[in-house]
Amino acid sequence: MGLEIQVALIGLIGAIVGGGISSLTTLLISRSERKKFARERLWDQRREGYSKIISSLVTATNIATHMDEEYSDDPHGYDASERSRQAMAEYIAHMHSARDAFNAYRLVLSASFVEIYETAQRQIKAEAGNPNLVPPEGAEITGTIMKMALTRLLEQAVSELREGSIKGL
C-alpha cells in the first residue's frame, strides 16, 4: 500500500472513531437530560398537587372554624341562617376540591403524604360523621382534625420539596 492510502486509512479510522465517540457522548447526554426533565416534571406535578390539596384544606378548615365560632343556641340564630347554609356548601365544595386534587395527583404524591391525608379523612368520617352530633360539634371536630393534619401535611410537603431541590431534581 502506498503512503497516501495509509494516511487516508488512518484519517478515515480517526474520523470514524471520533464520530462514534461524539455520537455516544451525545446519546448519553440526551438520555441524562431526558431523565432529568422527567424528574423535574414529576416534582412540578407533586408541588402542584400539594399546593392544590393544602390550599383547599386550609380554606375548608377556616370555614369549619368559622362555623364553630358562629354557633348559637338560638334556634333562629346562625345555624338557621342562610350564611350557615352557604358556609356549609363552601366547606363541602372545598373538601371535595381537596379530594379531587388528591385523586388527580395520587400517583405523584409521596406515600407519607397519602397516609397523612387518608388517616385524617378516616378520622373525620369516624369522629365527625356521627349523626347525633349537632353541626357545630361536627365542625369543631373536623376543624381540630384538619388543623393537626394540615400541620403534618405542610411539614411533609415542605420537607419533600426542599429535599428535591437540594438534590437538584
**To which residue does cell 426542599 refer?**
162
In a domain, 72, yes or no: yes
In a domain, 130, yes or no: yes
Distance of CA 81 to the CA centre of its chain: 36
- pLDDT, position 169: 45
Please tell me the distance from the alpha carbon of residue 98 to that of residue 67, in angstroms, as a whole number: 19
- pLDDT, position 78: 61
In a domain, 21, yes or no: no
- pLDDT, position 93: 93
Nearest CA-CA partner of 101 in 148, 153, 144? 153
In a domain, 17, yes or no: no
Number of domains the chain is built from? 1
Burial of 93 (0-12, 13-18, 19+ CB in 10 A): middle
In a domain, 74, yes or no: yes
In a domain, 102, yes or no: yes
In a domain, 26, yes or no: no
- The residues of the chain scoring below 70 in pLDDT are 1, 37-38, 71-80, 134-136, 164-169
Task: Give the domain range for residue 126.
Answer: 43-166
Q: Between helices 135-166 and 3-70, what is the axis angle to 10°?
A: 160
In a domain, 111, yes or no: yes
